[in-house]
Structure 1
Amino acid sequence: MDIDKLLEDIFNDDVSLDLKALFEEKIVEYGVTKTRALKLLNVDKDVFEDIINGTAKQPNLIHVVKIAEFLEINVDDFIQMVLKNQNTENIASIDRARKVRFLMKNFDVKALTKLGFFDNTDDIDELVERVLHYFGYDSIRQFEEELVTPLYSRTKRQFSDKMKDFWVRSAYQTFRLIDNTNGYDRERLKDVIVNMKPYSQDVKNGLYTVCRALYNVGVTVIFQNYLTTTHVRGATFIINNKPCVVLTDNQKKYPTIWFTLLHELHHVLFDYDAIKTNSYHLSDDEDLFLIEEKANSFARDYFMPRANFDYIKTYIKNDYMVEQFAKENEIHKSLVYSFYTWYQQELYNKNYYAAFKEYYPDYKPAIAKLNPITWDEDTVREASEKIKAVFEIN
């Protein structure tokens, strides 16, 4: 049953039927008295009157079905007629149930409250209004009609799925509103990728400069704060035939952001058609449909291929040698330590993840100019306008 349509029809004065008159017509047609008809239906007279008059606070479903059958009316239509006679308090309770269903189905309210997206309130109207206002929708129906079809689907959706859906919808709306007017040029993208490595050395402005260059070749890159339990490092969308990339701070490490950017750009270059068919791709998602290792290898080989690791591993504790090695390879030295750590784990099963922390710069200055989307933003539209302004500065 479409509850939205049901509620609309309840308040539609054009939809009207006199149930009492219809009942009188039926007992005349069947040649029985009202008392006899109700006895055969096993419906108490007072109960019948309450249902017909709309005064029953909680009409018994079995009685409703029996009366609808007697009157030869479709049950859904009869329910609509019964509800049309209900008092405003009962109708409001139906509307509340619809809103509760909408929130519980689509959002992890507890987690989003903890993040600051929702205020700490149990007011259903306020919670629904917050969602609709943030995404820019006028109604629950509009929200649900414009949803992006998720890549993952299960019979029972876990809380993490709801958080992923929220993250995806936020990114999708942001890209749709930014609406990059530059045409996607794959060959020019290759040129940007070839020349972007040195910018990793500039912590404050490097990522910003590269993202502006990508925007000019039709690839929009935004940054969204990581959402707990999603396990999503980044994502690639195809919207209006243009690639769009989302980065997160799920590991809160400067080298990881650059690695993720190259990883996603590999998907743009080589998995464009597959992503276009599926609307988007979440990297590190547990339900992958693309081969992630190819994208990982692409990013590793770009910054620090195996041969470079074999060379620098002997000198890794010599800060001067690592500094010179990083300069020669045109990368920030934190990437040297980050990839060294990965190779040690992968090749020798040695854990160095707690080492070299002093060489990792704070990642926040790198993303500051990109106006990262946080979950206390007022609306996606406002966030999108700030991001668009950054990319279109002359």
Structure 2
Amino acid sequence: MKNLDVERLLQDIFKDDSVFDVKERFEEKIAEYGISKTRALKLLNVDKDVFEEILDGSAKQPNLIHVVKVAEFLDVDVHEFIRMVLRNQNPENIASIDRARKLKFLMKNFDVKALTKRGFFDGGDEVEELVEKVLAYFGYDSIAEYESQLVEPLYSRSKRPFSDKMKDFWVRSAYQTFRLIDNPNPFDRNRLKDTIVKIKPYSQDVNNGLYIVSRALYNAGVTVIFQDYLDTTHVRGATFNIKDKPCIVITDYLKRYPTLWFTLLHELHHVLFDYETVVSNNFHLSDHQDLFLIEEKANSFARDYFLPVDGFHYIKNYINNPYMVERFAKDNEIHPSLVYSFYSWYQKELYGKNFFGAFKESYPTCKSAVSRLNPISWNEESIKVASEKIKAVFELK
């Protein structure tokens, strides 16, 4: 007997294709072998009533050994025979099998506990409701459609920790959003370079700066969206290649306004200088441990863009003087919170001192900075609805 492929079996049970008539096949075989039905069942050591229950689906818990023995006697593929037997089960048994299939789908692909805590799932939902939520969110009609439309898996390991599942969910949400937005503007690298040069002053406008910059990037063929941070992913941003166009995701990781701008410039560096790597992998998650050198170059680019080390050495002597920080920030065309943020980073990097909690009151909220761009959250609408809202923002005349 071939090895029993349970995965294939569960997938095949619910196919619509027809199956053979077992009773007819059994009659053919006993005629071919020249034995009676009673003799055949005796040799198989299968009780007549058990045999009938297997065929008509009345057996509440069909004995797998008996099912396999009959399949071998009929000389049919054991998967095909088991599928037929299962499809003949009563509605209650079929429903329990379907529920097991859906449960496997959820456990394999999602960290249900974390997504429930985040508000994506309702804690009181049953398995069927959880699956419906996933399919509705991504815009698919069935599990089969969901699985056939996925981008390349983020991780190749068969046993993935929950954090990997959350990253997969985050990546697939972003991918589907970009696919639905479908930026019509061709990617223009020269226009992107011209846009980057002009970005810095917009960091001073907390409520509209990111909105204005993101619209300008959209017109250059670069789509930027914001997704709420998902616990355990530790991803602040990512760059995708969708239909040969760069797409960037930024999160509110660490909940710091300066981090939004730093991440944006970090990802734009990947678009300018690492795009071949992004294209070959479909996407790139920033802070990826295996790409340390690429990440460091992007980090240095973003830091030098807003506050190079010379600026730090100047302002460190006046960091406790709000007036001097304000004037310094204005002269350098950046928001004062970026001065405090990069000051803290340089202190840690150069002197091993921790100032990251010293100036929190000077940081605007991320929410006000991204609100006009309709950031993707995890407890409200489907990706289709969210994508339509984002696209309307970008294409507003």
Report deviation, 1:296: 0.3
The answer to whether the aligner puts 1:240 opposite 2:243 as a matched pair is yes
Q: 2:56 aligns with which of 53, 57, 61?
A: 53
**Aligned-CA RMSD value:** 1.6
Deviation at 1:349, TM superposition (A): 0.7
Deviation >6 Å, runs of 4+: none
Aligned partner of residue 246 in structure 2, secondary structure: strand
Structure 1 Cα separation of the partners of residues 370 and 311 of structure 2: 28
Cα distance in 2, alignment partners of residues 233 and 51 from structure 1: 55
Write the deviation string for residues 41-76 of structure 1: whole angstroms up to 9, x where unpaired: 222232222112222112122211111111111111
For residues 264-284 of structure 1, what are the alpha-carbon distances to aligned partners after superposition, in whole Å with 9 as ceiling and x for unaligned?
000111111111111111112
Is structure 2 residue 226 aligned with structure 1 residue 219?
no
Matched residues, percent identical? Answer: 71
Paired position in structure 2 for 1:7: 14
Q: For 1:134-186, what per-residue CA distance to the aligned partner results, in whole angstroms no more than 9, with x for missing partners?
A: 11101110000001113332221111111111111111111111111011000
Instruction: Please tell me whether the aligned partners of residues 135 and 170 of structure 1 are also in contact (alpha carbons under 8 angstroms).
Output: yes
* Residue ranges of structure 2 left out of the alignment (5+ in a row): 1-7
Q: Which amino acid aligns with 2:240?
A: F
After superposition, the C-alpha distances for 1:262-311 in whole angstroms (9 at most, x for unaligned) are 00000111111111111111112445487211100000011111111112
- Contact 2:9–2:79 (8 Å) recurs in 1: no
Partner of 1:146: 149
Cα distance change of structure 1 residues 144 and 56 upon mapping to structure 2, 3 Å threshold: same
User: Is the counterpart of residue 265 in structure 1 residue 268 in structure 2?
Assistant: yes
Pairwise CA distance, 1:16:
4.5
Q: CA shift at 1:26, angstroms?
A: 1.8
- Gap runs ≥5 in structure 1: none
Length, aligned pairs only: 390
- Contact 1:152/1:287 (8 A) holds in 2: no
CA offset digits 1:339-365 (Å, max 9, x no partner): 110011111111111111222122221
Specify the SS of the correspondent of 1:8: coil
Q: What residue number does 1:44 align with?
A: 47
Q: How has the CA–CA distance of structure 1 residues 262 and 16 changed in structure 2, closer, same or farther, with 3 Å as cutoff?
A: closer
Letter in 2 for 1:271: D
The residue number in structure 1 matching 2:100 is 97
Contact 1:254 1:360 in 2 (8 A): yes
In the TM superposition, what is the alpha-carbon distance from 1:222 to its structure 2 partner? 0.5
Alignment match, 1:360 = 363
The one-letter amino acid paired with 2:264 is L
Deviations 1:335-393 (A, max 9, x none): 11111100111111111111112221222211111111111222111101111111111
1:91 CA drift (Å)? 1.5
Give 1:103-122 correspondences, 5 Å limit. 103-122=106-125
Confirm or deny that 1:85 pairs with 2:88.
yes
**Residue 64 to residue 339, structure 1, CA distance change in 2 (3 Å):** same
Structure-2-length-normalised TM-score: 0.94
Please point out which of 131, 134, 139 is paired with 1:128.
131
Query: Could you list the per-position Cα deviations for residues 81-113 of structure 1 after superposition, in whole angstroms to 9, with x for gaps in the alignment?
Result: 222322222222221111111111111112112
Is 1:163 equivalent to 2:166 in the alignment?
A: yes
1:182 match: secondary structure: coil
Q: TM-score, normalised by structure 1?
A: 0.95
Distance 1:295 1:117 in 2: 32
The structure-2 alpha-carbon separation of the partners of 1:320 and 1:289, relative to structure 1 and needing over 3 Å to count, comes to closer
Contact preservation (8 Å) 1:132, 1:138: yes
